[in-house]
Chain A
């Protein structure tokens, strides 16, 4: 590069000017596709139809639809620009306790796109999809072996859908023995999907109290169990990041009352390969494939929530069932005893392929290491942050470390402020204000795919922020984030006057 005759040192400035275009460096201020002017444009080349639509008469749509089109280069640029405004696991960890995601292996993406999986119709003749059904069967085998359970329903499309599937199986089992029941017990620390699902299935939801050490209160459970209780829904390890020490006793009491034990398996990643839910007395448990088995979560889905079932519940599993015969596999779409169908077709096949690639990549040895490293990483974060931040519970945690906001008391800084300041330091905030059982919760889950260097970077940043908070550096927090693509967004305004789509009037 020619450097002669031009200054090579930047000059100091007294203040940083705002940009003229709204861009921030290379980050463009990108408008909506509806504002890019493509009202008579298309990015596809299609053959001319041989025949017209005269046979459809007045069924034909004549009014304008209102869909802009873009050429391929414009489309790429628009969506690549948008992508640059996102955080992603490939940029840094998602310390979102009880939600989170781990590294998404690219092999999984590659194999899911093989035409033999991606270009296969759910209803083409079963003789032409033996490999696809074999993938389902293998995934089922791995999940059953890892959990020790009798059967698995693969079709639920996400964790909450799996909860619904599990409760429908429980309901069907009660109905089959002429014992309709009315209540479902849920601990106060449960995910919101648990009570929502139980209510959806028509059960009255009752909360189980929690002990001071963050676990199910056995005495309260025993008091609330009764002949009208259909099930308990307990997350284990729970959303405080703790293993329910009394879990076997919880299951025993539940079964003694004639109820079933639904386990929310969101946190199965902490125990996979080390603990089999069947050995704890679980009757049904969904597994979020993204969280334990690394399927991507692309900005909120698609998920997959297979449900493992005990011997008692297996006969009620929803259609379809995989049947193995002399001629190979078939899918029984109408099995006797099934409580019904969770969705059209057979579930999230694309996710099964990815999960199978992940499971085979780790194997029995690697999956056990997954649980150990996930727990080790969480405890490491807990150990490093505890000197400055208030840990909610003593003793080792499982996959996630829970802190309260007690250590911020008197600083004027809230959990939310602290979280938003983390964004400026390059990190996605932890889960905030959940679980509801501790004040100002900060729930941090690293997963096993974080290196020690990355964990230290994260902990160093959080500790420096904690020191700043304790030192009363409130400005750093109250208006944060300052360096993100956007500043703090007005969520009240969005809810009070919902604008849910672009309209020509709202432009500009």
Chain B
């Protein structure tokens, strides 16, 4: 077996050094009833060529984004990732390194984490950011938990624009901790409606901009209302490229910003691994979850970086920790940092402007189709449309025409069966838009005819 270096001779000689007659002697503590002498019922080992072939066959059963017009968003976005990003993250010294427990021989990892934290703080407009979370949704749940620690209150109010999967994740994690999660009914443009629900028990309000329907919102008034009541404002961003065009949550008064960072540096990967961004104000730093990288000096006075403030963490505080998190999303954070370094402020602004422009072009094209209504009043690169038929069926019809036509809201949330979420990015061509508009129009015409036929 190609990954196992020991030879039969090695094994025999090593057993002699140990003083055991067979490897079974080393498993002597396993209760006899649980010892398995035979092999489990699974296939035998395969060569590299065979395994690659098997997996290629499975991959071929999926329709990849590049194969045709593609308009899915809803929390994961198809962007171009420069080739150098994937090259660097596959360097042995990054790919095959472990958590930087020994800073003297992990400065590569620690320095990029410090760069990552600085980039995330700048992007979100916040004072400090951590070294990443699993993804945006778990970061959002951790933000709610952090708000309950800061305020010593036990209620979270979620706007009707928060991604339904994020609502589900927050609900699952927070409710067991005794937090009362109040999720408002899904609404295309309802972030400000959380204001009316803030009371003296509210630890935080959670809003999303652009929200799951694509609506961008100035949250300044929400921040003021929350803070006036002693609550924190948590702002969720699922499309981090938007921060190259839209006002930062920090500048609008957010107390905690969590974001899905996948769009920068990371492929769609059918949902993971992604990278959660988590940023807050300086005064709350000791209540943050997750790993933090800080600057210091070595014994010779040279600048270096270490994991720090670990007295918040599980390996020190055990059951008193701010979170149970151990692993973060290091390699995805590295991809984010490299891509962001390639973009810079100039490139990020261009990228964001281009995304926005493509979405406007898409909205113009789709808005001209009879029966299609654009629901989102102000959007970045994604918006919701209402169709005259259930979006699920329409999307399936579009697949047969070679188009991945967006995410039906019913796929992630209840109600709004006719609502379709569509996104455009820099990868969307004008031809993609033309084809989508043509085929959506055609599909709706067919659906109309079928419906009328049934009615008759």
Residue of A nearest to B404 (CB): A124
Knowing that A76-B87, A351-B272, A376-B14 are A-B contacts, what are 20 other residue pairs whose CB atoms are under 8 Å apart, sorted by A's residue number? A59-B247, A75-B84, A75-B88, A80-B91, A83-B94, A119-B65, A119-B268, A120-B65, A120-B270, A161-B325, A280-B34, A297-B99, A299-B113, A341-B172, A349-B271, A349-B273, A361-B46, A380-B18, A449-B5, A452-B13
Could you pull out 23 A-B pairs where Cβ atoms are within 8 angstroms?
A39-B344, A59-B246, A61-B251, A75-B338, A82-B107, A83-B91, A86-B97, A94-B98, A111-B55, A113-B86, A122-B76, A122-B268, A123-B75, A124-B404, A129-B63, A273-B36, A300-B109, A300-B131, A302-B274, A302-B331, A486-B300, A490-B296, A501-B114
Q: Is the CB of A364 within 8 A of B294?
A: no
Does A312 lie at the interface of the complex (its beta carbon under 8 Å from any beta carbon of B)?
no
A245: contacting residue among B31, B113, B315, CB under 8 A: B31
Q: Which chain B residues border A171 with CB–CB below 8 Å?
A: 176
Does B196 lie at the interface of the complex (its beta carbon under 8 Å from any beta carbon of A)?
no
Q: Give the contacts of A96-112 with B (CB-CB under 8 A).
A: 96, 99-101, 103-105, 107, 109-111
Does B449 lie at the interface of the complex (its beta carbon under 8 Å from any beta carbon of A)?
no
| CA of A400 to CA of B132, assembled, Å | 30
Q: Is the CB of B246 within 8 A of A342?
A: no
B298: contacting residue among A115, A130, A347, A489, CB under 8 A: A489
Give the Cβ gap from B129 to chain A, nearest Cβ, in Å.
7
Q: Is the CB of B109 within 8 A of A340?
A: no
Q: Which chain B residues border A123 with CB–CB below 8 Å?
A: 72, 74-76, 407, 411-412
Q: Is the CB of A243 within 8 A of B314?
A: no
Q: Which chain B residues border A205 with CB–CB below 8 Å?
A: 318-319
Residue of B nearest to A205 (CB): B319
Chain B interface: which of A4-12, A216-224, A366-374, A461-469?
A366-374
Does A417 lie at the interface of the complex (its beta carbon under 8 Å from any beta carbon of B)?
no
Q: Is the CB of B98 within 8 A of A96?
A: yes
Does B454 lie at the interface of the complex (its beta carbon under 8 Å from any beta carbon of A)?
no
Q: Is the CB of A118 within 8 A of B40?
A: no
Q: Is the CB of A487 within 8 A of B104?
A: yes
Q: Is the CB of B296 within 8 A of A344?
A: no
| CA of A146 to CA of B325, assembled, Å | 27
In the complex with contacts A376-B26, A396-B25, A44-B39 CB distance below 8 A: no
Q: Which chain B residues border A485 with CB–CB below 8 Å?
A: 104-105, 107
By size class, the interface of chain A is: 35 or more
B102: contacting residue among A104, A319, A429, A506, CB under 8 A: A429
Interface string of A303-334 (1 = CB under 8 A from B): 11000000000000011000000000000010
Does A500 lie at the interface of the complex (its beta carbon under 8 Å from any beta carbon of B)?
yes
Give the Cβ gap from B281 to chain A, nearest Cβ, in Å.
12
Does B267 lie at the interface of the complex (its beta carbon under 8 Å from any beta carbon of A)?
yes
Q: Is the CB of A72 within 8 A of B59?
A: no
Q: Is the CB of A502 within 8 A of B60?
A: no
Q: Is the CB of B42 within 8 A of A196?
A: no
Does A201 lie at the interface of the complex (its beta carbon under 8 Å from any beta carbon of B)?
yes
Q: Is the CB of B96 within 8 A of A357?
A: no
Interface string of A119-136 (1 = CB under 8 A from B): 111111101111110110
Q: Is the CB of B357 within 8 A of A50?
A: yes
Q: Give the contacts of B266-300 with A (CB-CB under 8 A).
A: 267-275, 285, 291-300
Give the Cβ gap from A221 to chain B, nearest Cβ, in Å.
16
Interface centre among B10, B131, B342, B348 (most CB of A within 10 A): B342
Chain A interface: which of B118-126, B197-205, B226-234, B439-447?
B118-126
Chain A interface: which of B184-192, B303-311, B365-373?
B303-311
Chain B: how many interface residues by the 8 Å CB criterion? Answer: 204
Does B62 lie at the interface of the complex (its beta carbon under 8 Å from any beta carbon of A)?
yes
Residue of A nearest to B72 (CB): A121
B45: contacting residue among A164, A361, A450, CB under 8 A: A361
Chain B interface: which of A63-71, A255-263, A402-410?
A63-71
Q: Which chain A residues border B101 with CB–CB below 8 Å?
A: 96, 99
A51: contacting residue among B296, B321, B360, CB under 8 A: B360
Does B431 lie at the interface of the complex (its beta carbon under 8 Å from any beta carbon of A)?
no
Q: Is the CB of B122 within 8 A of A67?
A: yes
Q: Which chain B residues border A383 with CB–CB below 8 Å?
A: 17-19
Interface string of B414-435 (1 = CB under 8 A from A): 0000000000001000000000
Does A202 lie at the interface of the complex (its beta carbon under 8 Å from any beta carbon of B)?
yes
Q: Is the CB of B48 within 8 A of A361?
A: yes
B98: contacting residue among A101, A359, A384, CB under 8 A: A101
B347: contacting residue among A39, A69, A168, A275, CB under 8 A: A69
Give the Cβ gap from B9 to chain A, nearest Cβ, in Å.
9
Q: Which chain B residues border A457 with CB–CB below 8 Å?
A: none
Q: Is the CB of B41 within 8 A of A299?
A: no
Q: Which chain B residues border A380 with CB–CB below 8 Å?
A: 14, 17-18
Q: Is the CB of A344 within 8 A of B166?
A: yes
Q: Is the CB of A41 within 8 A of B346?
A: yes
Interface centre among B19, B121, B347 (most CB of A within 10 A): B347
| CA of A299 to CA of B328, assembled, Å | 9
Does B15 lie at the interface of the complex (its beta carbon under 8 Å from any beta carbon of A)?
yes
Does B171 lie at the interface of the complex (its beta carbon under 8 Å from any beta carbon of A)?
yes
| CA of A193 to CA of B311, assembled, Å | 14
Residue of A nearest to B339 (CB): A44
Give the Cβ gap from B449 to chain A, nearest Cβ, in Å.
22
Give the Cβ gap from B381 to chain A, nearest Cβ, in Å.
11
Q: Give the contacts of A261-303 with B (CB-CB under 8 A).
A: 271, 273-276, 279-280, 294, 296-303
Q: Is the CB of B216 within 8 A of A56?
A: yes
